[in-house]
Structure formats: C-alpha cells, structure tokens
Chain A
Amino acid sequence: MLRILYFAWLRDRLGRSGETLPLPQGAHCVQDLIAALRARGGEYAAIFAKPELIRVAVNQSFATIAAPIAAHDEIAFFPPVTGG
C-alpha cells in the first residue's frame, strides 16, 4: 500500500492528514498518482488543479512529479515550506 500524507492547507482542504491506498493501476511516477487523485473530483481535483503550487516528497526526500513510485512508498504532498 502507498502511504500518502498531506500537510498544511492541503490537509485543511481535504480534511485528512493522510491515507493508504494500493498503487493505482498503471501508475509509475508521482504525476500518475496525482492524475489518479484528481480523478476523484471534489477537493482532490481542486488542490491538484495547479500542481506547480504543490511540492512532493517520496520516502521523505524532496522529489519532482516525474519521480518513480513503488507500491510501499510514502508520498507526501505539501505547499512550499515556510520555516525559520
């Protein structure tokens, strides 16, 4: 199962901090996963409508939407960070 995490305004919008789901059929990279999540419609379609506003980490390392994913990865979606 994929472990998917949402932080900051993405979590607020979705009303959940994470979920687990099987690797979607035919999904090989983050972009494929985003497409599968957008296809759910509603808030999922809204938050992923502008992927350039979203950052992603695969297994706790910053990644691009072209990064490959596998069945047991941890994928996190979040806005650009604002620490310090």
Chain B
Amino acid sequence: MPRITIRVQAEAFDSAHETALLLRGHEDVGGVAAFTGIVRGGGGLVALELEHYPGMTESMMRRIAESACARFGLVGCTVIHRVGRLAVGMPIVLVLCASAHRGAAQEGTAFMMDWLKTSAPFWKREEFENGHSAWVEPRAQDEAAKARWGSLTA
C-alpha cells in the first residue's frame, strides 16, 4: 500500500521534514518530486484568505492522492494544503511524490496539482493593499490542465 499523508492546516509546513517522513523505511524510492505553491504577489495583492469544506476537502484530497498513486505507481505521496490568511510569499500547498523512477514522481505531482486546483473544495479570497477584497474566479486554463488527465479514476 502506498504511504499517503493528507493534511489541511493553518500552520506552515516543513518540506524537508515531510520528505524524510515520506521516505522513512522505503528503500525502493529512486526520487521524490516536490511542488511548493507560494502566494504570488502583484497588482497590490497583500494576502489570500483560504477557505475549505471540512470533511469533504480531506476526502477529495485523499481520492486525488490515491488516484495518483495507482496511476503512476507511486510508493507514496504527501499533500498539505494551508487555510486561513496567507501573506504574499508564504507557502500555501505542498505536494510530494515518491517513486522508483523520476518520471512517475514528476507526473504524479503535476496530476495532483491539476486536480487540487479544480476539484478540492478550497476557495481563495484576495486581499489588496487598498482594502478591497475579491473571491478568485476559476480559470479556464486550470480546467483544461485537469482535462488532459481524463477522469480521476482512470
């Protein structure tokens, strides 16, 4: 069984620590691909407020992770998504995929990010320096990126 870790939390995460946990006791891993999402500034953005649907979010994240492990033959993966208020420059999401070979780990990471952005129930509200705030609209290119993988269970 692949080692899967899913967490939704307000606190920061430590990528090196999470990588060590993912690898512990696994000698069949040839590589770990990692993606860390960062709150990107610009246009006067100060922070993002991240909201989620407790319960459903975790179960969707687990489905996505299980699907990635099955599809790419991953040894394990870790997905941590932060919620609450995150200032520009703060890490917001971590995806780690461990596998015997590089390609599967990298593809698994891309697959999970594409699905997380469009199918895990998180919503972002942008907060600007002039005090204005607005909910982030979904982007067509995110849907297109997910569509290239076909269905979640394929």
Contact = CB atoms under 8 A, between A and B. Distances in A.
Contact of A82 (B37, B93, B122): B122
B117 A82 contact: yes
B120 interface: yes
Interface string A60-84: 1110000000000000101111111
B56 A83 contact: no
B122 A81 contact: yes
A39 B124 CA distance: 29
A44 interface: no
A74 B61 CA distance: 19
Interface stretch (A5-13, A19-27, A29-37): A5-13
B93 A57 contact: no
B93 A8 contact: no
A81 B123 contact: yes
Nearest to A55: B121
- How extensive is the interface on chain A, given as a class? 10 to 19
B137 A83 contact: no
Contact of A7 (B51, B138, B142): B51
Interface in B110-142: 113, 116-125, 135-138, 142
Given A9-B135, A81-B138, A84-B117, A60 B56 contact: yes
A61 B121 CA distance: 10
Interface of A: 5, 7-9, 57, 60-62, 76, 78-84
Interface of B: 37, 50-53, 55-56, 59, 81, 92-93, 113, 116-125, 135-138, 142
Given A82-B136, A83-B121, A84-B92, 17 more contacts: A5-B53, A7-B53, A7-B123, A9-B135, A60-B55, A60-B59, A76-B56, A79-B138, A80-B138, A81-B121, A82-B122, A82-B123, A82-B137, A83-B50, A83-B93, A84-B37, A84-B122
